[in-house]
Amino acid sequence: MKKEIPYKIYLSEEELPRQWYNVRADMNTDHAPILNPKTLKPATVADLEPVFCTELAKQELNTTDKYIDIPEEVRNFYKMYRPAPLVRAYCLEKALGTPAKIYYKFEGNNTSGSHKLNSAIAQAYYAKEQGIKHLTTETGAGQWGTALSMACGYFGIDLTVFMVKCSYEQKPFRKAVMQTYGANVIPSPSMTTNVGKKINEEFPGSTGSLGTAISEAVEVATSQPDTKYVLGSVLNQVLLHQTIIGLEAKTAMLKYDEYPDIVIGCAGGGSNLGGLMAPFMEDKIAGKQAPYFIAVEPASCPSLTKGKFAYDYCDTGKVTPLAKMYTLGSGFIPSSSHSGGLRYHGMSPILSQLYHDGYIDEARAVKQTDVFAAATQFAKVEGILPAPESSHAIKVAIDEALKCKETGEAKTILFGLTGTGYFDLAAYTAFNENRMEDYAPTDEELAKGFSYIPELDI
Ligand SMILES: *Cc1c(COP(=O)(O)O)cnc(C)c1O
């Protein structure tokens, strides 16, 4: 007889993974190499070192080690808020009247309110080991900046955060948390960097974008001693650290002989979905079990569903390496009426390749009013006020569960609940007062974004 499944499946500290899983070592087709923007040759560790910490540059380019040890200090930090619970959404299932079994992996149990801390603590650790004194980064919605502020505060590293201007203005309390942990927070585009000044001239009144904030942070990192740049999504190293999510989720499910038929995650730069999906993708690549993978993105920033699969810059100022990925163009600036994260123009090269090759079965773009309706429905029955980003996954999980209701199939659905929405109350208020607008870029706006994609002769 099957064991009765509890509302929350907890793992013990002992079961906390000791290694991250590098899905790239298993992929049948590796993603195209990232390119040095000056030479257009595949980037080497030496190319990446001026910007990134050495150990992280090595992780970025690692295609051979299937498992990478989690350093003891990082694992000990993880123990403060992990293993994260896997929740069986019994109450949501009941409210929907679906025969589907819904599980979510909850990553909001730490002050940053998201999964971002999983990579922030690892990146700050490697910086400290290398004797780096100062880190720079960008933040959009603010979760990454908060997570990195916590990590830098823990290891005593100085941190400068370029925060996308519209978010800086909408979320003053995010800034307060980052400052409490000791970070210096600057709205981007700023007048403190050359690239910031240039963008302010070219686009007066710009409310900023992640691409711009990245350029500013990289400029500071490369022009100051003992300073490196770190990024909270998109990169292979980030996806690697986030596999802790999927590894724990898989162990928890297997304890109860469960296995997902559908795995759903929101996709901004692809790190949480990549991390949740990776250990299940391992099975799919090996031809064992094949869950149906769905990446969910906002209709206002539709990299996978409307973007091009091409080499592009990871930032607006074109100072970062080029990556082959689904992209809307590094000059694409999503509407500021879109609340919350998931506003990045590109997508993780690993995720892009897996999607291109059909291993990720589907990408779905959803409207933000539908997302907030799903968030509200979820909050009422499951008790957690979800982050708007996470609510993209909730929306699709609910849709899939309702399909099961029609067909009578009892599918097992797993989605990533990446964080909480306490700092997104302006957006919740707009939704509650019917002031929230849906927005999707027009063909013209998309074409304008695509015009920034370089034509490479390679
Ligand atoms: C940053 C963030 C995301 C999106 O980033 P990914 O790299 O795509 O995971 C999703 N949810 C929350 C709560 C976030 O903070």
Over range 1-29, report the average pLDDT: 94
Closest CA relative to residue 261, chosen from 93, 415, 85, 94: 415
Tens of pLDDT, residue by residue over 206-234, are: 988 888 899 999 999 999 999 999 999 99
Q: How many helices (H) and strands (E) does the chain have?
A: 18, 15
Ligand 1 contacts CB of residue 341 (under 6 A): yes
Topology given in CATH for the domain delimited by 71-113+235-450: Rossmann fold (3.40.50)
What are the structure tokens assigned to 51, written together? 């910007």
Q: What does the DSSP 8-state code read for residue 402?
A: H
Ligand 1 contacts CB of residue 386 (under 6 A): no
pLDDT of residue 3: 78
Ligand 1 contacts CB of residue 389 (under 6 A): yes
8 Å CB contact between 181 and 124: no
Decide: pTM greater than 0.85.
Answer: yes
For 246, list phi and psi in degrees, rounded to 5.
-70, -40
Q: What is the mean pLDDT of the chain?
A: 95
Tens of pLDDT, residue by residue over 142-184, are: 999 999 999 999 999 999 999 999 889 988 899 999 999 999 9
Strand pairing category for 262-266 and 292-298: parallel
Output the CA 389–ligand 1 centroid distance in Å: 6
Using the CB atoms, write b or e for 338-357: b if 16+ within 10 Å. bbbbbbbbbbbbbbbbbbbe
Ligand 1 contacts CB of residue 387 (under 6 A): yes
Say whether pLDDT at 1 is over 70.
no
Who contacts 387 (Cβ-Cβ below 8 Å, separation ≥6)? Answer: 108, 113, 114, 141, 143, 340, 341, 418, 419, 420, 421, 424
**Beta bridge partners of residue 419, listed in sequence order:** 114
Tens of pLDDT, residue by residue over 287-335, are: 999 999 999 999 999 999 999 999 999 888 888 899 999 999 988 877 7
Based on its alpha-carbon atoms, the radius of gyration of the chain, rounded to whole angstroms, reads: 20
Who contacts 65 (Cβ-Cβ below 8 Å, separation ≥6)? Answer: 22, 25
Output the CA 456–ligand 1 centroid distance in Å: 30
What are the structure tokens assigned to 207, written together? 């409310």
Ligand 1 contacts CB of residue 282 (under 6 A): no
For 281, list phi and psi in degrees, rounded to 5.
-65, -35
At residue 413, the 3 state secondary structure works out as strand
Who contacts 176 (Cβ-Cβ below 8 Å, separation ≥6)? Answer: none
**Beta bridge partners of residue 20, listed in sequence order:** 68
Say whether pLDDT at 338 is over 80.
no
